Structure 1
Amino acid sequence: MSSYEARFEVWRGDVRGGGLEDFAVEVNDGEVVLDIIHRLQATQAPDLAVRWNCKAGKCGSCSAEINGRPRLLCMTRMSVFERDETITVTPLRAFPVIRDLVTDVGFNYAKARQVPSFVPPEGVGPGEYRMMQEDVDRSQEFRKCIECFLCQDTCHVVRDHEENKQAFAGPRFLMRVAELDMHPLDAAEEAGLDRGRTAQDDHGLGYCNITKCCTEVCPEGIRITDNALIPLKERAVDRKYDPLVWLGDKIRRRS
């Protein structure tokens, strides 16, 4: 096994402030950035705070920014960098720092609670749900989300405009709304819930300008923009501005 010495710059600090700290650390073949962070904790910075759990790219815990790009520490191989390259590791920029590489992502859980859950169809009991495989596959893509919140971090609506957070759910939770809106068994409409309208009015769908940055950083390869956000926008616009839809709503309300 060959090894070499790499130069790292790791952000150290807390809510009061901080800065980058330089480290020279050993790197071995096959290692990922999380391995190097663990080696720093073991050899040079025992008080370095980092959040992690599975080390298999499935828990979403070790989200950070590597050379300015939101990534999972456990899924970023050291082999993608040049040996003489300085590697910068910083916390997620869109969320408040707790300490070092650990951020407070409570914003995301607050937004998750604001999305109305699946509404079961009336008269269909457990085990009686039937769906076309095509519909199953569509939902299954969105269900691959590991809630690493990299899409939330890279979305400039959240990242660059703190004032937008109150009105904007972000791509992860607009994707959840889209999944439910596409679900053939979701009886939200019968229960008086218009998911397209709530996406627009309550979750800030109009703030999204489909730059696809969320799709680019998704470690699960979910096509968030193409398969969730754009279709959701199209349906929301149809419901709001299509004259035939408007007339149908009027007739239903009158009857």
Structure 2
Amino acid sequence: MTTAPDTTSYDAHFKVWRGDVDGGGLEDFTVEVNEGEVVLDIIHRLQATQAPDLAVRWNCKAGKCGSCSAEINGRPRLLCMTRMSVFDRDETLTVTPLRAFPVVRDLVTDVGFNYEKARQVPAFVPPQDLGPGEYRMQQEDVGRSQEFRKCIECFLCQDTCHVVRDHEENKTAFAGPRFLMRVAELDMHPLDAAEETGLDRKSTAQEEHGLGYCNITKCCTEVCPEHIKITDNALIPLKERAADRKYDPLVWLGNKIRRRTS
């Protein structure tokens, strides 16, 4: 009596980038894959069996911490949310660090750029005439902001945005889609009192955060693991409001009158 061959496991071919800030390259590995596994499982197996010094950042393995961001076959992905079953068994998978950020070692990159940009976005300004517990918003406004709050800070959108991915010199002037989305969220918040303090979020988005660099290719939306419609629901509306503020003569006149009467 013969037994059927096991079709739930197989050997996969990987190319994994190894190196540090001084340079490196791809190394070839053949590693076992079992049914239901994700790429992070395979990276862990590589660490356990062949490359114990392989560096990779991860935490929750549930697609909620954003730590295990890397590139698989050139596409920014979360290692823990990319199932091996989406690839052909005879396909060679190339795993590399995020291209837009400096390499620390192997698959770990220095994403400090993103935290610098986060600090440059002024925080929510509470209305002066309302105290804690007195805030009231329409459910529609809550839902609009809640979509953006789903961000897990994986920075895949930052990595795939060609403005910073292909042009290192733009990083000083461009915040990237994740933080322009934050500006958009605050600008559309019905209780944000930034303008009462003299802060024009639409103007700062254009002049300080580089909104004009974005040409709405939607690559940021395509890689978002939380399926946030970054381009359609945040960046395009913010661009429209910024353009109205700067170029619409009626809006310009209304702002002039409002300033004069106040």
TM-score interval (norm. to shorter): over 0.9
1:58-207 matches, cutoff 5 A: 58-207=64-213
**Which of 18, 23, 27 pairs up with 2:24?**
18
SS of structure 1 residue aligned to 2:197: coil
Name the counterpart of 2:3.
none
Matched, 1:55 2:53: no
In structure 1, how many angstroms separate the alpha carbons of the residues matched to 2:141 and 2:49? 51
**Which of 46, 52, 55 pairs up with 1:46?**
52
- Name the amino acid aligned to 2:103: V
Gaps of 5+ in 1: none
Deviation at 1:252, TM superposition (A): 2.7
In structure 2, how many angstroms separate the alpha carbons of the residues matched to 1:127 and 1:249? 31
Gaps of 5+ in 2: 1-5
Deviation at 1:181, TM superposition (A): 0.3
- Name the amino acid aligned to 1:45: A
Deviations 1:76-97 (A, max 9, x none): 0000010000000000000000
Deviations 1:194-236 (A, max 9, x none): 0000000000000000000000000000000000000000000
Matched, 1:210 2:200: no
TM-score by length of 1: 0.99
Number of aligned positions between the proteins: 255
RMSD: 0.7
In structure 1, how many angstroms separate the alpha carbons of the residues matched to 2:61 and 2:29? 22
Name the counterpart of 2:235.
229
TM-score by length of 2: 0.96
Deviation at 1:28, TM superposition (A): 0.2
Hey, which bits of structure 1, 4+ residues long, moved more than 6 A? none
